[in-house]
Structure 1
Amino acid sequence: MITSLIALTVSAFSLPLLENSTYSQTETKCTLTVKERHLQENTVLTMSTDKRNNFDVKIYHLNDLQAPSRGELIQNSIDNINQHPTFNYVVDHNLFKRLDNQTAIYTATIANDDFSPQRFTQAFKAHSYRTTLHLEGLKPFTFIASQRQADAFFRCAEQQGSTLAKR
């Protein structure tokens, strides 16, 4: 009885069930996807970059914030230490996909002013791949990426930038 309980416990912790982020790479793009800490499947943060080092940051969620519209996003470190600055961003709210008459997926995209998405991504890295986001009109979200997945994303982003610099 105890042996089977130990085996069950060991196998449960060895499975990547607790993995809350994924990293993917194509020839032209690196993407890190992080599930929200509490809402898991209902709210997802994606950060991506391409060969030209164009960063893109989106939050996919189920809340209609009068899409299409503009709003504000505030990024904090999870521990709210004073040494970590708070950043404010302009976001565009849009309908991403209607699943049925009752359910739709919306996006909040950080407005691409050639600086904000990259600043967001670098702050996420500086906060040890963890952040709290306050999207105007919603309760705060907490995103914590797996270090292994986030490290792979940032290595890919650096390689994308160095490939561009060589050209």
Structure 2
Amino acid sequence: MVIRVEVIAGPAAGLLARIEARVSDLTPAMARIGMALVASIQENFELGHSPDGQPWKPSRRAMLQGGQTLVDTGALKSGIGFEASADQVAVGPSGPSLVYARIHQEGGVIRPKNAKALFFRGADGQARTVKAVRIPARPYLGMSAEDWNTIGDVLLTYLGAAANG
């Protein structure tokens, strides 16, 4: 018994050309991915946890004032944006929030640059003078398993549209 398989590429050539054209410029899909990731990060702020679901250590300000950790003025949360191009999307903080975004993401110690101490008003309104302030890491940027699924769905939908074109 002989089994013969014959592939004729002629009828598929149009489909392959449409897929190739879409793959050469993924900007529309990257923009959809960017919007989805920004929404996911903003949801992390609402829920007070990292992308992997780990709750953030509550801030003293949030505990004393009844607010949300990392959401005092809302600048960090609203400062998340994206930039899409033909083959990638970058998502992250921008604008004024860029200055303090890293310390909240990674944690660290803040020390004075040109003085002997830091001076500020605490969440309780009391004046404080300290040599350093330790900020715990509260990761808000990153990707969850759900985010990866969303990316896959967006790409499949975008490339699948070539079959209808």
TM-score normalised over the length of structure 2: 0.28
Higher relative contact order (CA 8 A, sep 6+): 2
The structure where strand makes up a greater share of residues is 1
The structure where helix makes up a greater share of residues is 2
Larger radius of gyration: 2
